[in-house]
A and B are shown apart, each in its own frame.
Chain A
Amino acid sequence: MGDYVRQMPHQGSADLARPPSAASRLHIDVPLLLLLMALTTYGLFVLYSASGQDMGAVVRQGRYFAVGYVILILGAQVSLQRYTRWAPWLYLAGVATLVAVMFFGVGAKGAQRWLQIGGFRFQPSEIMKLVVPMAVAWYLADRTLPPRFKYVVVSLALVAIPAGLILQQPDLGTSLLIAASGLFVLFMAGIGWRYIFGAMVLAVASAWPAWMFVLKDYQKQRILTMLNPESDKLGAGWNIIQSKTAIGSGGWEGKGWMSGTQSQLDFLPESHTDFIIAVLAEEYGLRGVLFLLALYVLILLRGFWIGVHAQTSFGRMMSGSLTLTFFVYIFVNMGMVAGLLPVVGVPLPLVSAGGTSVVTLMAGFGILMAVSTEKRMVVH
């Protein structure tokens, strides 16, 4: 079955009137790019304070962002057809590397997540955050939508294999993110509500066996700690108590840039990585949190807008899934630091220090831009 959409006669007619702008020739979605730049700039300011005024940390993060933008622009140049064609092969390669990690991986703190080739170290599970939704979208793109039961089952298998491999590394956070990104594709493909509600019921019902047989002790501990951080004041509860104190003591106005007592005096652990939102909330107050949320909401809305205006099923499903995954990062991170969710290793997207998530997120936005500029490609 060919790509039917491309022969639609009415599409692109409005664009023919105008010569293509530089941005559209470069496949850049200008509103999205401006929003991302605003977010990363804001992030660097917070990081300077959170790292204890370490210009080195800011420069390092700036370099990650620079690499991220380059990847974004390169990713935007690749046509969606090519992504569709690559999807199955990337998926197979990804699963193969995950299996390789199982046997030859190196790790830290009891988890085996990295693969080392020469002096170069990388985390295959990170790439899978993009590859899994791509593979599901590729699989469903040619089917009639909403997908029939058989296709739902195959899609679920496509999600379950890598998610399972990552779960046993063990890396619960990434595994859940990857499973979510694949399931979002199914959701956006219009899978029936009975599946969705059925899955919810199943999830609730499986909570007990998961607690008994699947979750590791440290994961259970995190959940218990979230429910009652006071139970272990000096140990695992410390992080949550300190981060809640940091957020709460910031108030509406905040204590001022670089004046957060919690973060500057080292009471707050991981203050420049996973817990950076606590520094932001302490120093900029609720005002600063609202500004951050506004930026995130605008980025999410732009993502959904691109999805709605996409020309192919593949593009639609990809942009929907990528946008929702981006939302999951925000929700999980902000929720866990505020004590709403258990602590899992999910960074605050494009604000937390670190290069790995920047690269993945930016590559995702590159695909979004490819989707957003797709129709113009078809015309020319």
Chain B
Amino acid sequence: MPEHIALKDPHRESRIYSARTVTAILVVLALLGVILARYYSLQVTEYEIYRTQSDSNRVKLQPLPPKRGLIYDRKGVLLADNRPSFSLSVIKERVPDFDATLAQLQQLVPISESHLEKFQQRLKRRRPYEAVPLRFRLTEEERAILAVNRFRLPGVVVDAQLLRHYPQGELFSHAIGYVGRINEREAFELDETEYRGTFHVGKVGVEKFYEEMLHGAVGYQNVETNAHGRVLRVLERYAPEPGDDLTLHLDIEVQKAAFEALGDRRGAVVAIDPLTGGVLALVSTPGFDTNLFVNGISSTDYSALRDSLDVPLFNRAIQGQYPPGSTIKPMMGMAGLESELVTPESTVPDPGWYRLPGDSHRYRDWILRIRGTGHAPEVDLKMAIAESCDTYFYDLGRRLTIDRMAEYLAPFGLGDRTGVDTTNERRGVLPSKAWKRDSLGQAWYPGETISASIGQGYMLATPMQLAVATSVLASKGERRVPRLLRAVNGEPLMAPELEPMQAKPENWDSIYEGMLEVVHGKRGTAKYLAKGIEYQMAGKTGTAQVIGIAQNAVYKEEEVNERHRHHGLFIAFAPAEAPTIAVAIIVENGGGSSAATPIARKVIDTWLFGSSDYKDPA
């Protein structure tokens, strides 16, 4: 069948097209009619409903900030709580004349330039119809004045909020840190929903480390308001979830003993329970009143803290890096025994100085200045620890070499962060050839090994690291990550445990005997601590040079500027046979270890008996 050939018929096409156009126009108009009807029903029929909805829109959903978790010491003493505080806020959208209202407010209550400045910054970040705080901590009187003038101040609100308060102030400043107002950078990083209605966030310390637990979860309420934004009734409420209450290992009595023993000197005390890794005391002096930071510290207060020569904002316990001095000797002794370079019986001759083969430089023992000779003709390990013989360890260090020294000391927690649950911890320095090459770009010199073997030179440790090392000595090789947090909402937690150190038990015993001798021996460097003591304490003194002393010069304490005096250090654990506390103490520019040793006695007495009647003989 031949294919049907169709010819184009323009008239027919045109007619069809016109018909289709008419259909299309009808459909288009009908559908636009539907649209129009919809807009008519929204804008005319249901106008009232939407008008009301639009008016009440602004205040429909209110966030309910959660209550921040409390912080307790191990016995339940409050270290951080929340107290009601009244603040003055402004809702810009409801203020008819913004500048006039601000001027009026300034006449009613004191508002400083810095308040205004911070207020302007907050104003820029607000959401529509958000109350922006202008003044905090209104006094009773200021609240009364504002209440009386309220009718003249539309858009001005006085509201109560819970504010962080630190009842112990300075005593725990470095142990728990503080919260502060959320700044711009934090606002960007924090979850916007969770922090609606919350103005504070942990800035440092436990408050920052456990921010997520302490914060809780935000709640909401749906409220009906009148035209002036006053809440008339709550329609729906999703309660916020309060933050977790934290119980710390810290013991307020031990903390107080350490803080008071340090007095007005600069220094730090860290005490750890070797059985649990719990931090019993974490003190850095001088401290500061953390309450100042809660609502934005004034610039005068802040510059006073920042510019003080004593750097009170610096947390010496975890940020301070000091040469450990002779406190390194028990760990060094362990290295010597484990590497079998020394035995408890082997001895080193001690003329009061040490010389490297082929070098004329004399490395002096500290005793030389006092006695003009060495500790004894031949010194063994126990004596070397008890009397803190430098010559013995010079010799050991040289034979051990710096890299193996680093290898043996690292398991004690030196040269790396301990991982304690707080912020800003420093890692110290455990020098090695590789370390010096990487960080200084220089080769290692043999003389530097000599300095390192008595904890001088490049070697640096934080008091926290020394306390951890002491805890390892006390528990004969068990290693735990130090923990401040003991329990959450009353549920106890376990400190993370690390692989124990592999060492021979008799080697631990040798070191232990030496450290016992430090306190209880006839010629121990801390023997005056044993006066009236009812338990056994094992320890090690240390002195760290702040300035270098020339080859033949003599260090005379009285002649040296106070800030150039030696740092005094002491590490100890007790009761020696079954230790429950290990402490590390540093007193900056204390002159020598005698500045630090009495503090240990007071801290340990307090931990064991609840108080101390030890009198510093000095």
Contacts and interface: CB of A to CB of B under 8 A. Distances in A.
Interface of A: 1, 4-5, 8, 143-146, 148, 187-188, 190, 234, 242, 244-252, 261-262, 265-267, 281, 285-286, 289-290, 293, 296-297, 300-301, 304, 307-308, 313, 316, 320, 323-324, 327, 330-331, 334-335, 338-340
B10 A4 contact: yes
A290 B128 CA distance: 31
Contacts of B31: 327, 331
A316 B31 CA distance: 23
A144 B17 contact: no
A47 B28 CA distance: 26
Given A144-B7, A144-B9, A300-B28, A190 B53 contact: no
A247 B36 CA distance: 12
A332 to B, nearest CB: 10
A324 B20 CA distance: 12
A338 B39 contact: yes
A340 B34 contact: yes
Given A190-B16, A265-B129, A248 B8 contact: no
Contact of B43 (A146, A190, A286, A327): A286
A340 B35 contact: yes
B16 A146 contact: yes
Contacts of B19: 190
Contacts of B50: 244-245, 247-249
A145 to B, nearest CB: 5
B32 A249 contact: no
A188 B129 CA distance: 54
Nearest to B53: A245
Contacts of B16: 145-146, 190
Contacts of B13: 145, 190, 313, 316
Interface string B23-58: 011001101101110111011101101110111011
B17 A307 contact: yes
Contact of B42 (A8, A248, A265): A248
Contacts of B612: none
B139 interface: no
A249 B56 CA distance: 12
Contacts of A308: 17-18, 21
Contacts of B129: 265
B93 to A, nearest CB: 8
Nearest to B16: A190
B57 A245 contact: yes
Contacts of A334: 35, 39
B553 interface: no
B51 A251 contact: yes
B6 interface: yes
Nearest to A266: B128
Contact of B32 (A188, A244, A266, A293): A293
Given A190-B13, A190-B16, A267-B57, A285 B6 contact: no
A246 B10 contact: no
Nearest to A262: B54
B17 A281 contact: no
Contact of B28 (A249, A327, A340): A327
27 contacts: A4-B10, A190-B13, A190-B19, A245-B57, A248-B50, A249-B50, A249-B51, A249-B54, A250-B43, A251-B51, A252-B47, A261-B57, A265-B58, A281-B43, A286-B39, A286-B44, A289-B36, A300-B25, A301-B25, A304-B24, A307-B21, A316-B13, A320-B17, A327-B31, A330-B32, A338-B38, A340-B34
A187 B28 contact: no
A252 B54 contact: no
Contact of B39 (A145, A148, A261, A281): A281
Contacts, number: 138
A249 B52 CA distance: 8
A296 B39 CA distance: 16
Contacts of B21: 188, 304, 307-308, 320
A266 B44 CA distance: 24
Interface in B262-320: none
Contact of A190 (B17, B36, B128): B17
A235 to B, nearest CB: 12
Contacts of A251: 43-44, 47, 51
User: Which of B13, B34, B40 lies at the interface centre, i.e. has the most chain A CB atoms within 10 A of its CB?
Assistant: B13
B28 to A, nearest CB: 5
Contacts of B44: 251-252, 286
A300 B28 CA distance: 9
Given A247-B50, A248-B42, A144 B8 contact: yes
Contacts of A313: 8, 13
A11 to B, nearest CB: 10
Contacts of B7: 144
A187 B17 CA distance: 9
Given A144-B6, A248-B46, A281-B43, 16 more contacts: A145-B16, A190-B20, A242-B57, A248-B51, A248-B54, A251-B43, A251-B51, A261-B58, A262-B54, A267-B128, A286-B43, A293-B36, A307-B21, A327-B31, A331-B31, A334-B35
A72 B456 CA distance: 83
A269 B32 CA distance: 25
Given A249-B51, A327-B28, A187 B8 contact: no
A306 to B, nearest CB: 10
Contacts of B20: 187-188, 190, 320
Contacts of B93: 265
Contacts of B53: 245, 248-249
A161 to B, nearest CB: 25
B127 to A, nearest CB: 8
A261 B57 CA distance: 10
Contact of A285 (B25, B43, B58): B43
Given A190-B16, A265-B129, A247 B35 contact: no
Interface in B225-278: none
B368 to A, nearest CB: 76
Nearest 7 pairs of A and B residues by beta carbon: A248-B50, A249-B54, A144-B6, A190-B16, A265-B128, A248-B42, A286-B43
A269 to B, nearest CB: 14
B35 A338 contact: yes
Task: Specify which of B7, B17, B36 lies most central, judged by the most chain A CB atoms within 10 Å of its CB.
Answer: B17
B35 A4 contact: no
Given A281-B39, A338-B42, A4 B17 contact: no
A250 B58 CA distance: 16
A265 B128 CA distance: 6
Nearest to B220: A234
A246 B43 CA distance: 9
Contacts of A296: 32
Interface string B543-564: 0000000000000000000000
Given A5-B10, A247-B50, A308-B17, A252 B57 contact: no
B10 A188 contact: no
Nearest to B51: A249
Which one of B32, B39, B49 has the highest number of Cβ atoms from chain A below 10 Å of its Cβ? Answer: B39
* Residue with the greatest number of chain A CB neighbours at <10 A, chosen from B32, B54, B93: B54
B315 to A, nearest CB: 42
Contact of A297 (B14, B32, B42): B32
Contacts of B9: 144
Nearest to A335: B35
Nearest to A333: B35
B17 A261 contact: no
A324 B10 contact: no
Nearest to B34: A340
A1 to B, nearest CB: 7
A244 B42 contact: yes
Interface in B51-79: 51, 53-55, 57-58, 61
B55 to A, nearest CB: 8
Contacts of A4: 8, 10
